[in-house]
């Protein structure tokens, strides 16, 4: 039999193998992150009919090359073009990730780790990041609970939407900053009500509150009183502050001479019955006896104070009225003494506040005000902040922790707040003050926050996964690990775009590497496309087809020669 017959058969088989590889490449032209393969041929073997001989220096005869007849062809190797990067395909899905570089994602079926370039991921029902096609868990590194940084240890399944990650815990505000311009000609600053400055804050449970400060001018140039007048919840309800509890500053008297006139056009006093009446003296507006009656509620007593303040022109500013000073006595102490309230010992007569028995008037001149707060001072020459309560650095403290929330353990949901006032200046601003208070210091520390719900997840170029929350916070959830191999072409395919390591690819150490360590990076919202080049594949298909045809001709021609040989017998 002729050797060429078997060479032709070997050629047919080998070209068929190459055609199989080409067909697989074309079939996967749209497979995510598919890596094309190519076939190289090698001659099968050769039959040596005469060995080579060397030159004979004695006879002068030269050497003769060996005579060898080839016996066909075989597939030398099937190479995977694994290092060639596929093009990027935009998907808009934030969990679709493409690696630029030579690294691989690490995924697990729960028993073994596999490697893939297919970054089509999704979050399953329990919050794990998984492959869309197989459901295998994407592996990475978790966050150290102590340092809140990535701990590169043995890879683990990335559970990015656990119950702990769906919300961000609240925190109480513990720092604040006051800044802006306090114009001395501002009508609000010089009014009885004063300039209102609100500081929004949070308690430890994430509930929002507003601390309302009142800034008022005094008779001393460049000096202003600062008081914490109210603490309101998110619905505007005032939080009661126990009597004697000083949350901001302590009792201080400030100079502020103010004439106070009783409204005789609408009101009159029944000095005998100690009642505030209408002008005609027929209807009772406020009965002072209510103040000394232990059976009356705080609201009923407050209504008495409010009515008296209104009669003296302080409607809506009852506290400002009650804290006015006549001599060394507050108006509140004077009213309480007149009403017979226990502990009130004023020497000033409410119905004759000026001490002149010859004049029937209830008007008086307030010598100053008693405040529960602090005095803020400015340099009259430069307009710059000087001090508050004697502190030149502007540091004050709101002792909100004194408001007990849990009587069982005597604890509070509030945190004391370090409030800095040094950012205020006393410049001309056309009679308008711009003083504002913000939670947190100048670096944004100590702002406090409400409970945050997760509103998004983002994946960075280095594979770090961050969650964002509706309270403005972000949280590091983990990092996607990658694997890198000395000989990536030596990986073994397992279908479903998966590979496993072999003895010739290099091993995986179980920890992996940061994708950026070798200059690579991750892109979200895109997938890596197949790197199959159709023009090259079709060209290879043509040459393979011609090679197959040529080998088939070897067989037919060899058969013809054998036929001629058998015909010699005739």
* 417-425 and 492-495 strand pairing: unpaired
Separation of alpha carbons 514 and 532, rounded Å: 28
Separation of alpha carbons 420 and 170, rounded Å: 23
Strand ranges (E), 355-463: 364-378, 385-388, 395-398, 417-425, 436-439, 452-459
Instruction: Please choose, from the candidates 529, 388, 550, the residue with its C-alpha nearest in 3D space to the C-alpha of residue 7.
Output: 550
Separation of alpha carbons 533 and 519, rounded Å: 26
Separation of alpha carbons 44 and 73, rounded Å: 5
Q: 14 phi and psi, to 5 degrees?
A: -70, -40
Phi/psi region, residue 13 (left: phi>0; alpha: psi -120 to 50; beta: rest), is alpha
For residue 63, the 8-state DSSP code is P
Q: Tell me, what's the pLDDT at 356?
A: 78
Separation of alpha carbons 476 and 455, rounded Å: 14
What is the location of CATH 2.60.98.20 in the chain? 170-249+370-450
- Domain 170-249+370-450 falls under CATH 2.60.98.20: yes
Q: Tell me, what's the pLDDT at 570?
A: 65
Q: Tell me, what's the pLDDT at 70?
A: 78
Instruction: Please choose, from the candidates 533, 490, 494, the residue with its C-alpha nearest in 3D space to the C-alpha of residue 78.
Output: 490
Instruction: Please choose, from the candidates 177, 211, 217, the residue with its C-alpha nearest in 3D space to the C-alpha of residue 194.
Output: 217
Chain centroid offset of residue 188 CA: 39
Residues of the chain with pLDDT under 70: 1, 360, 406-408, 570
Separation of alpha carbons 311 and 265, rounded Å: 10
Separation of alpha carbons 538 and 399, rounded Å: 80
Q: Tell me, what's the pLDDT at 407?
A: 64
Q: What is the chain's Cα-based Rg?
A: 46
Separation of alpha carbons 314 and 259, rounded Å: 12
Separation of alpha carbons 30 and 23, rounded Å: 13
Chain centroid offset of residue 373 CA: 37
Give Cα separations from 137 to 134, 251, 500 (angstroms).
9, 65, 15
Residues 6+ apart with CB under 8 A from 509: none
Instruction: Please choose, from the candidates 494, 492, 458, the residue with its C-alpha nearest in 3D space to the C-alpha of residue 476.
Output: 458
Structural contact between residues 452 and 471, judged by C-beta atoms closer than 8 angstroms = yes
Q: What are 165-221's pLDDT values in tens digits?
A: 999 999 999 999 999 999 999 999 999 889 999 999 999 999 999 999 999 999 999
């Amino acid at each position: 039999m002729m050797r060429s017959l078997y060479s032709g058969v070997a050629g047919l088989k080998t070209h068929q193998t190459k055609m199989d590889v080409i067909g697989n490449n074309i079939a996967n032209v749209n497979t995510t992150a598919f890596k094309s393969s190519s076939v190289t041929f090698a001659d099968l073997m050769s039959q040596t009919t005469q060995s080579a001989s060397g030159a004979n220096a004695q006879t002068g005869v030269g050497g003769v090359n060996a005579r060898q007849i080839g016996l066909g062809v075989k597939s030398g190797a099937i190479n995977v073009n694994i290092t060639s990067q596929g093009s990027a395909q935009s998907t808009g899905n934030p969990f679709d990730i493409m690696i630029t570089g030579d690294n691989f994602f690490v995924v697990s079926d729960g028993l073994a780790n596999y490697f893939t370039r297919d970054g089509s991921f999704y979050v399953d029902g329990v919050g794990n990041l998984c492959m869309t096609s197989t459901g295998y868990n994407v592996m990475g590194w978790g966050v150290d609970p102590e340092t809140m940084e990535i701990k590169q240890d043995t890879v683990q399944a990335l559970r990015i939407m656990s119950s702990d990650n769906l919300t961000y815990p609240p925190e109480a505000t513990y720092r604040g900053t006051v800044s802006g311009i306090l114009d001395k000609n501002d009508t609000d600053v010089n009014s009885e009500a004063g300039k209102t400055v609100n500081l929004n804050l949070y308690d430890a449970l994430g509930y929002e509150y507003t601390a309302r400060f009142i800034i008022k001018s005094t008779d001393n140039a460049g000096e202003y009183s600062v008081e914490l007048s109210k603490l309101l919840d998110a619905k505007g309800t005032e939080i009661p502050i126990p009597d004697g509890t000083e949350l901001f500053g302590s009792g201080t008297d400030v100079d502020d001479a103010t004439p106070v006139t009783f409204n005789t056009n609408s009101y009159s006093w029944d000095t005998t019955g100690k009642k505030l009446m209408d002008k005609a003296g027929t209807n009772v507006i406020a009965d002072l006896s209510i103040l000394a009656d232990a059976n009356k509620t705080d609201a009923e007593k407050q209504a008495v104070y409010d009515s008296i303040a209104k009669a003296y022109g302080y409607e809506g500013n009852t506290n400002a009225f009650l804290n006015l000073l006549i001599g060394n006595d507050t108006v509140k102490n004077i009213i309480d003494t007149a009403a017979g309230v226990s502990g009130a010992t004023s020497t000033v007569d409410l119905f004759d506040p000026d001490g002149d028995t010859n004049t029937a008037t209830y008007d008086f001149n307030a010598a100053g005000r008693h405040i529960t707060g602090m005095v803020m001072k400015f340099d009259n020459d430069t307009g710059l902040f000087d001090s508050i309560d004697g502190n030149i650095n502007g540091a004050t403290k709101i002792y909100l922790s004194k408001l007990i929330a849990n009587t069982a353990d005597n604890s509070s949901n509030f945190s004391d707040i370090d409030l800095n006032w040094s950012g205020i200046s006393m410049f001309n601003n056309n009679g308008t003050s711009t003083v504002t208070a913000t939670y947190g210091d100048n670096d944004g520390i100590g702002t406090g926050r409400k409970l945050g719900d997760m509103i998004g997840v983002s994946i960075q170029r280095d594979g770090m996964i961050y969650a964002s929350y509706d309270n403005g916070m972000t949280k590091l959830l983990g990092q996607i690990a990658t694997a890198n191999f000395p000989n990536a072409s030596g990986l073994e395919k397992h279908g479903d775009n998966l590979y496993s390591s072999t003895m010739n690819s290099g091993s995986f150490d179980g920890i992996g590497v940061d994708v950026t360590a070798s200059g690579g990076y991750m892109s979200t919202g895109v997938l890596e496309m197949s790197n199959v080049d159709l023009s090259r594949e079709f060209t290879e298909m043509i040459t393979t087809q011609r090679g197959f045809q040529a080998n088939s001709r070897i067989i037919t021609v060899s058969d013809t020669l054998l036929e001629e040989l058998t015909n010699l017998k005739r």
